[in-house]
Structures are given as C-alpha cells and as structure tokens.
C-alpha cells in the first residue's frame, strides 16, 4: 500500500495540503516539498481532500502559513498532524482590525 500524499509548497509553510481521499486519524501521509524532500507524519484527525494538515506545532495566535503566505492565525493550539481549518484558524483576509488584513 502506498502512502497518501500531502504537498508543502513553500519553505516557510507550516501546513501542507492533502491530495488524497479518505485520510483518517492515525494514518500516515507523506509530506513532499518542491525540492524533493519527504517526511512521513501521522495525522491526528480525519482530513478531507484539499484541506490542510499541520506539519509543525502552531501556537495560539501564531500565523498559519500556506504557499508562503499568511492565511490566518491559530485560534487554539494546533499540533503537528492536526487538521487545520475554520475550527482552529481565523482568517486575516478582509479584516481591518488585524495587521495584514486585506
């Protein structure tokens, strides 16, 4: 059985995008970057196709980085392997009250 795939696009990313169906808590995924590096991590949650997985621990109020861009801030502690989505991040886009809000 081959490992499921997640992609890290930018060196500064602390999340990777899942490119596989049926990712369940406890499964392993292979996180690859554009340089050909790979790391196997165990996911802690069920994660749908196209959603994000934390590839490092992210503290509350820390930036969440995807594709080299700040996409939001963590609203709670996020551990490596956790699903990262609206339940644990707050978007900075369209917010005038946060630095970097567009």
33 three-class SS:
strand
**Residue 97 domain flag:** no
| The predicted structure's pLDDT at residue 102 | 41
What is the reported pTM?
A: 0.87
Nearest CA to 8 out of 46, 72, 56, 44 is that of 56
User: Is 87 among the domain residues?
Assistant: yes
Q: Please state the domain count of the chain.
A: 1
CATH number of the domain to which 66 belongs: 2.30.130.110
Task: Give the residue numbers spanning the domain of 83.
Answer: 4-91
For 37-62, write each residue's pLDDT tens digit: 999 999 999 999 999 999 999 999 99
Q: Is residue 98 part of a domain?
A: no
Domain presence at residue 47: yes
pLDDT at 27: 97
Identify whether 10 is part of a domain.
Answer: yes
CB neighbours of 73 closer than 8 A, spacing ≥ 6? 61, 62, 63, 64, 89, 90, 92, 98
Query: Would you state the pLDDT for residue 91?
Result: 86
The whole-number pLDDT of residue 2 equals: 80
The Cα–Cα gap between 84 and 21 comes to: 16
Indicate if the pLDDT at residue 100 is higher than 60: no
Could you say which DSSP state residue 62 is in?
A: P
Mean pLDDT of the chain: 91
> Is residue 101 in some structural domain?
no
Q: What is the C-alpha to C-alpha distance for residues 66 and 95, in angstroms, rounded to an integer? A: 18
């Amino acid at each position: 059985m081959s490992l499921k795939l997640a992609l890290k696009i930018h060196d500064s990313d602390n999340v990777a995008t899942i490119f596989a169906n049926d990712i369940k808590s406890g499964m392993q995924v292979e996180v690859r970057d554009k340089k050909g590096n790979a790391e196997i991590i165990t996911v802690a949650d069920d994660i749908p196709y196209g959603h994000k997985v934390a590839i490092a621990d992210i503290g509350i109020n820390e930036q969440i980085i995807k594709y080299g861009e700040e996409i939001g801030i963590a609203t709670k502690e996020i551990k490596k392997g956790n699903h990262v989505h609206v339940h644990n991040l707050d978007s900075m886009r369209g917010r005038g009250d946060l630095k970097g809000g567009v």
